Structures are given as C-alpha cells and as structure tokens.
Amino acid sequence: MATSHEAPADALFLGLDSSTQSLKAMAIDPQANVTHEYAVNFEQDLPEFETKGGCHFHADGLTVTSPPLMWVAALDLLLARMKADGFPFARVAAVSGSGQQHGSVYLRPGTRERLRALAPDQALRDQLADVFAVAESPIWMDSSTTPECRALEDAMGGAQPLADLTGSRAYERFTGNQIAKLYRTQPGAYQATERIALVSSFVASLFIGNYAPLEPGDGAGMNMMALREKTWAVPILDHVAPGLAAKLGPIVPSHTAIGSVTPYFVKRFGFPAGCRVIAFSGDNPCSLAGLRLQHPGDLAVSLGTSDTMFGALSEPNPSANEGHIFGNPIDPDGYMAMVVHKNGAMTREQIRNTHGYQSWTAFEAALGGTPPGNAGNIGFYFTDPEITPPTLGAGYFRFNAGDEPAGEFAAGTDVRAMIESQFLSLRLHGEHIGLRPGMILATGGASENSAIVRVLADVFGIGVYTGEQKNSASLGAAYRALHGWQCAKQNTFVPFAEALKQASPFKKTAEPDPQAHAVYSRMLARYAELETRAVEMANAKNA
C-alpha cells in the first residue's frame, strides 16, 4: 500500500514538450518507466497554418515566428488522439511541460476570464482564436533584434555586467529583446497586451485556466531575470518597456504545483479533478531533467541539428563571450550552464557528402582511419554563422601543422578535423563557464556513431554514457511532474534523485584512451589561438 507521499501503483505522470516542430506527450509510471508516447507534427498535421518546420520565415531573412493558435490547435489534436487511443487520463496524478525557449505569447485583456470559462464541448482553438494581441510569436530562431541587444548592453554598462546579472549577454532570440522590439515597432500591440507568456507558461495556462507563473529555468532565457535572486531585474524591465512587471507576472520555484487542471480538461478528456499542474519550463532545462544531470560535473552533449553541451553547476560563472547560465529546474539552489554550436549535424552531413561517403558507416571508417590529433591538422567548420564562438560570417578554415592556412584536406583528414574541432570547441568554451565533466551523457543522432563517441571520450578524458530515451525534453517534463507531485505531497522540496531513484541506469559506451586524451589536452591552447584567427577570417568574409 502506498504511503501518503508515494504515488498509487497505477498513477501516471504526463510530460508535454511544445518544441519548434511538434508537440509531444510522454507518460511515466511511479518507477519512471515510459508507458505512453504521442506526437503531433505542426507542418504535417496542421497544414492550415502553412509553416515550414513549425515556423514562418519572413522576407528580411532575420524574423522567424510561429502562430500561437497553432500550439493551441496542436494540444486539441494531441489530446484527442490520446483519447481515441484509450489513454487513461483518469490515472494522471500530475502534468508538467517543456516549451521551446525564448518564444513569447501576447495575450489580450480578458484572456484569464476566457480560460476560466472554457466550454468542454468545444475545441480550444475555437474558443481562443481571438485572445492574441500578436498573431505571430517570435521564437528562438529570430535574429532581428540586434539594435535592442546593443541598447540593452549599453544601458546595463556592457555585455559582461549584463551577463553577470542575467546569466547571458544580450542575445537576439532572448525574450526581453523581442519585447523591446515589439514596444518600439508595434506600441499598440504592446499596449493591448495584458499578459506576456513564454511558450511553456502559455501551455501551462491552458491547463490551469489561469495565467501561469514563470520559473527560473525558462525565465533565465529572457535577459531580464536576476540570476542569483531568481527575481525580475527591475532596471532591465524599466529599460525594455513601461509597465512590464505587471505583464510578466511572478517567478516561482520550478517544482511548484501551480494549480490543478481546469474543469475543461476534466469534462472533455477525463483528467481527475485533483490532477496537479507543475510549473512548465524550457526545453533545455527539461532536457537536463530528462537526462538526470543532478550533480555538478554531470554533463550532456546533445549531437543534433545544433550541438549543445549543458550540465549542472553549484555556482554560476557567466561569460559575455560564450554560453548561458540558467536556473536549474531540479535544484532550487543550483544552476545549469549551456554551450550551443549552431553547426552540428548539418555540417557533419555536408562533410560526409563532400567526400562521397554514401553512409555513416563509411564516414565512421574514415574517422577511425586517422590518428588522434590528426597529425597537427586543425579545421573550423562554420556552415552557418556560429553562436559559439560568435561569428558574423560562414566558411571553412583549415590550418596545417605549421599553423598555415590550408585550402583542402584529404578526405579522412577533413572528417577527423571537423569532428575534433566540434568537441575541442565544446571543451574549450565549456571550461570558460565552469563545465568540467565528471561524466558525459551523449544524446542525439550522432551519439549512435561509435567512432564519433570515442573521439568525444578522448577529448574530454572521461567515460561517455548513452540512454535509451531520445525525447529528453518530454521525458524531463514527465520526470518533473513526478518530482513536483512528490514535493507537493510532502509539502517540502524533495531531492530530485530521491524522486527518480527507480529510474533505469545509463549505459557506458566509450572509455577514453589516456594517450589520445593527452594529445588533445596539448592541442587545446593551439586550438584556441587558431579559433581566434578563424573567427576573424569568417567575420572578414561578412564585412
């Protein structure tokens, strides 16, 4: 028999992930085993919104948006599919969620009342079509706010003081800069906005029938939250737009139960009336939860469209030049750090295709046929302008063992130079913000390539693990639902490790070669110097 703080054996905990391209749902049982998965693809399943990959790309080449009504319609469709499939909504004890970070939703006055009075015999999209003060939400891919970024840094005394305060220098995709642009270019829309939500808190608002608060994991991706205090930085709010604090609402701890599901979901789908809603967070913080990076030194390297390294920190060390520090969604006293490389899988695929490799098996053989350190050859591969290190232009920049520019490398040399460069860069820039691994969990498509993972282990000198679950953001949301439910039941914070103690362990897939690691450690300073030259060359191409 379950104790007062243990979930019934048949309970489920539901996690949602509203990402750029899709809305996913994942349910787990009290032992953290995945029981159900569902998904709606925005482009394929909701073609009436005419998105490409869930987005609208505007003519200026900088502005990228998504229609927030599409996210509402996706929730309608997802839950309807789950109901048609016989999903046992009545067993759901708690729900939490993940949203693509930085995206913002602008809600008109009266939206709160509309959420409270939803009619269960009608779809959400039909009842909420007119609640948006801005019909197109700026999302993380938008890079149109450079003037606002420079103005914010100037107002705060520079990029480093802003990073010290908020965890990041001003970034175009960060929500505060998007709000500043809206106030400058569409003051009427700003004035017509009662509440500004993030994608995460917007979806949470649908579930509780009220405006949902933000939490520190996602709130830190706005350039407006005082990182250490986890409260709004008033001087920044005053700079961005008038009356902003009232439009944003409060910030609460990530494990907070922010309410119960509204009667709409009880009557339409069969959720229990007491189903708790745990504060939703961003996709990166939820991925940290999904990969159970619970202690400083626990790092994940996600090898996907972009390459991302992130992990837990006890103390923040923000840098104006690279990376981000966010609130930690599973430790109210901790932080998480993240380094993002835009040039990930697409660059690996381009190099593979350039040299005529017909499969990743052939690519892996080419990588394995060259020595660690690549006989001194180093390359930098910016298929697109890079985030870390920041570049204004693109291009491939190769250097031979004498540090002289090299026009081309032989095929195998080029493959190894590209892979080594990606991981040396993660190590270099991660160390700058305090990410020093005690273990690495590799995820994403390239984590299935044993030769690539072996280089990762050698560069960092640490064992690399992999897990079976690929959808770390929705899984993290489900984990956080279980964790938040336990915190609410005990009326105190419960260590995340305690809530997830029955989760399956990860599998070690690569051990470092000490000699190879020594080669990479000796390379690092030279790599850093050549990186500076490569960035200058990339920027010169854009001048």
Q: What is the DSSP string of 401-466?
A: TTS-EES---HHHHHHHHHHHHHHHHHHHHHHTT---SEEEEESGGGG-HHHHHHHHHHHTS-EEE
Q: Is the pLDDT of residue 1 over 50?
A: no
Question: Which of the four pLDDT bands, split at 50, 70 and 90, describes residue 5?
Answer: low
At 63, is the secondary structure helix, strand, or coil?
coil
- pLDDT at residue 542, as a whole number: 76
- pLDDT at residue 443, as a whole number: 85
Q: Is the pLDDT of residue 291 over 60?
A: yes
Q: Is the pLDDT of residue 2 over 60?
A: no
CA nearest to 249, candidates 284, 207, 218: 218
- pLDDT at residue 448, as a whole number: 86
Number of H-type helices and E-type strands within the chain? 21, 24
What the block records as the tokens of 214 is 């933000």
Consecutive H or E run containing 229: none
- Strand-pairing partners, residue 252, are none
Mean pLDDT of the residues in the chain: 95
Q: Return all residues near 518 (Cβ < 8 A) that are at least 6 apart.
A: none
Fold (topology level) of 345-465+510-542: Nucleotidyltransferase; domain 5 (3.30.420)
pLDDT digits (tens, 9 = 90+) for 56-100: 999 998 899 999 999 999 999 999 999 999 999 999 999 999 999
- pLDDT at residue 274, as a whole number: 95
Question: Which of the four pLDDT bands, split at 50, 70 and 90, describes residue 4?
Answer: low
Question: Which of the four pLDDT bands, split at 50, 70 and 90, describes residue 322?
Answer: confident
Q: What is the DSSP string of 346-364?
A: HHHHHHHHHTT--SHHHHH
- pLDDT at residue 61, as a whole number: 86
pLDDT digits (tens, 9 = 90+) for 17-52: 999 999 999 999 999 999 999 999 999 999 999 999
User: How far apart (Å, rounded) are the C-alpha atoms in residues 497 and 292?
Assistant: 8
When the candidates are 3.30.420.40, 3.60.110.10, 3.40.50.300, 1.20.140.10, the CATH number that belongs to 12-279 is 3.30.420.40
Q: Do domains 12-279 and 345-465+510-542 have the same CATH topology?
A: yes
Distance, CA of 396 to chain centre: 27
State the pairing for strand pair 464-466/507-510.
antiparallel
User: How far apart (Å, rounded) are the C-alpha atoms in residues 255 and 437?
Assistant: 26
pLDDT digits (tens, 9 = 90+) for 102-137: 999 999 999 999 999 999 999 999 999 999 999 999
**pTM, to two decimals:** 0.89
User: How far apart (Å, rounded) are the C-alpha atoms in residues 466 and 506?
Assistant: 6
Q: Return all residues near 193 (Cβ < 8 A) that are at least 6 apart.
A: 106, 107, 108, 133, 134, 247
- pLDDT at residue 423, as a whole number: 98
pLDDT digits (tens, 9 = 90+) for 243-268: 999 999 999 999 999 999 999 999 99
- pLDDT at residue 469, as a whole number: 65
Question: Which of the four pLDDT bands, split at 50, 70 and 90, describes residue 482?
Answer: very high
- pLDDT at residue 468, as a whole number: 65
At 41, is the secondary structure helix, strand, or coil?
strand
Considering the chain, what percentage of its residues have pLDDT values greater than 90? 85
Half-sphere exposure of 493 (CA within 13 A, CB side): 11
User: How far apart (Å, rounded) are the C-alpha atoms in residues 72 and 324?
Assistant: 30
Q: Looking at residues 452-478, what average pLDDT do you find?
A: 91
User: How far apart (Å, rounded) are the C-alpha atoms in residues 445 and 302?
Assistant: 9
Q: Is the pLDDT of residue 3 over 60?
A: no
Q: Which residue has the higher pLDDT, 188 or 434?
A: 188
- pLDDT at residue 385, as a whole number: 84
Q: Are 321 and 294 in contact (CB under 8 A)?
A: no
pLDDT digits (tens, 9 = 90+) for 45-55: 999 999 999 99
User: How far apart (Å, rounded) are the C-alpha atoms in residues 152 and 343?
Assistant: 27
Q: Is the pLDDT of residue 466 over 90?
A: no
pLDDT digits (tens, 9 = 90+) for 174-230: 999 999 999 999 999 999 999 999 999 999 999 999 999 999 999 999 999 999 999
Q: Are 28 and 15 in contact (CB under 8 A)?
A: yes
CA nearest to 452, candidates 517, 360, 358: 360
Q: Is the pLDDT of residue 537 over 60?
A: yes
State the pairing for strand pair 298-303/439-443.
parallel
Considering the chain, what percentage of its residues have pLDDT values greater than 70? 99
Q: Looking at residues 462-485, what average pLDDT do you find?
A: 91
Whose tokens are 């104006």? That residue is 320
Q: Looking at residues 484-489, what average pLDDT do you find?
A: 97
Burial of 8 (0-12, 13-18, 19+ CB in 10 A): exposed
Q: Return all residues near 178 (Cβ < 8 A) that are at least 6 apart.
A: 102, 104, 138, 142, 145, 148
Q: What are phi and psi of 255, to 5 degrees?
A: -90, 5
